[in-house]
Amino acid sequence: MSRKLQFILLCSFLTSSIFSQEKIEEPVKKIKIEKESLFVKAAFDEADYKVIAFDRYGNPHSQAIKSFTIKYVDGKTTYEAPVEGNIFPDKTIQFLTKKRKYATKICLSKIVAEDKDGHFENLPELCDIVIFPDCKKVHKN
């Protein structure tokens, strides 16, 4: 009886191993992974003349912006000024607020933010920002 039982077990093992190794030819499926960016947009702080990045949850990150470019049009000429960091240079602030008599519409492009792991992300352009000149006292005669 023991020989019969061994033979039955051996046959069942061999048949199960034969069927389990049957190859089914299916195409290999690929998984596409996209990195989720932390920062979604940038905003201009009019009080301090600086650019702030916002993450996907709406939290501001004031030190995340590493560089951007200021563009504005004066007549038919377009001016561009690259900026390192997130704060407008004093020279640019003086020009836009003190030396001009009318409001200037600027556009911030090539905005680059850095997350806490050191990865750089490009943010969308920030246009239609209007910077008004400083008000001057008007004396009535």
* Number of compact structural domains in the chain: 1
30 part of a folded domain? no
Whether 51 and 39 have beta carbons less than 8 Å apart is answered as no
Rounded to two decimals, the pTM is 0.67
Whether 42 and 53 have beta carbons less than 8 Å apart is answered as yes
87 part of a folded domain? yes
pLDDT tens figures, 67-112: 999 998 877 888 888 999 989 888 888 888 887 788 888 899 999 9
71 part of a folded domain? yes
